[in-house]
Amino acid sequence: YRLMGCVEAWKSYGHIENNANSHRLSSGLGMILIEVTDVDDTANDDSVQVGFYRGIGSYNLDSSGKVLPYASYGIDHEDGLPRYGDIVSGKIVDGVLKTDSADVHLPFFGNYQYMNQVFRDMQLHMELPLDGKPVTGSVAGYYGVDQFYSYVRGMLSTFPNRHKFSCPSIYVAAHQLADGHPDPETGDCTTLSSAFKFDAVAAFINHPEQEE
């Protein structure tokens, strides 16, 4: 919000977020699967593993358009190996999953833009959806300035003059507000401290047979 909070289309009820979320829901593109393994106790466990994958196929929806819990999804893979699949350590505290800080690659689709996004020093907090009901989680960390600007630039080429903001202004402001991961040669920061909220439901993940 330091960077985009004044742009009406970028607010939680604005066109940018609503269009991206509705298209993701209807198409399944950019689906992120979070797998928690090595769980001994779903209420409190001081050592679990958390994997991040790209789901393939469409969401399983009920008659009202909401995602059904406990559906099965495959993961995007090639030659038996997942295209995504970063594994980070974490723990469960009072039913809340918390991951250690780590760089994580996540698929992205929104407003007709595809991206292999990298979240630096990412931490995830999420209640475990044990009863099948949707839960809300959050991720926080650092988002690449060039990565974010690439999304903005591509989106404006798809929706020219619709969102009422200036690409050059965003480029300058994003670099001014960058506050993480300085370039070793110039000293300029290359990432923006960022946070996202998300909704999740319980699901099953089908893994391909792994190569030796």
Per-residue model confidence (pLDDT) at position 35: 96
Per-residue model confidence (pLDDT) at position 160: 60
Of 103-117, 131-145, 196-210, minimum mean pLDDT range = 196-210
- The rounded percent of the chain whose pLDDT value lies above 90 is 66
Q: pLDDT higher for 153 or 90? A: 90
Write out pLDDT tens, residues 11-62. Answer: 878 888 888 889 999 999 999 999 999 999 999 999 999 999 999 999 999 9
Query: Would the pLDDT of 139 be above 60?
Result: yes
Per-residue model confidence (pLDDT) at position 210: 55
Computed on alpha carbons and rounded to an integer, the radius of gyration of the chain in Å comes to: 18
Per-residue model confidence (pLDDT) at position 212: 44
C-alpha–C-alpha distance, residues 61 and 146, integer Å: 35
Query: Would the pLDDT of 131 be above 70?
Result: yes
DSSP codes of every residue in 84-132: --EEEEEEEETTEEEEPPEEEEEEEEETTEEEEEEEEEEEEEEE--TTS
Mean pLDDT of 95-123: 94
- Residues with Cβ within 8 Å of 101's Cβ and at least 6 positions away in sequence, in order, are 121, 122, 123, 141
Write out pLDDT tens, residues 94-106. Answer: 999 999 999 999 9
Question: pLDDT class for 129, splitting at 50, 70, 90?
Answer: confident
Per-residue model confidence (pLDDT) at position 38: 97
Query: Would the pLDDT of 211 be above 60?
Result: no
Question: pLDDT class for 161, splitting at 50, 70, 90?
Answer: low
Q: What is the mean pLDDT of the chain?
A: 90
Query: Would the pLDDT of 167 be above 90?
Result: no
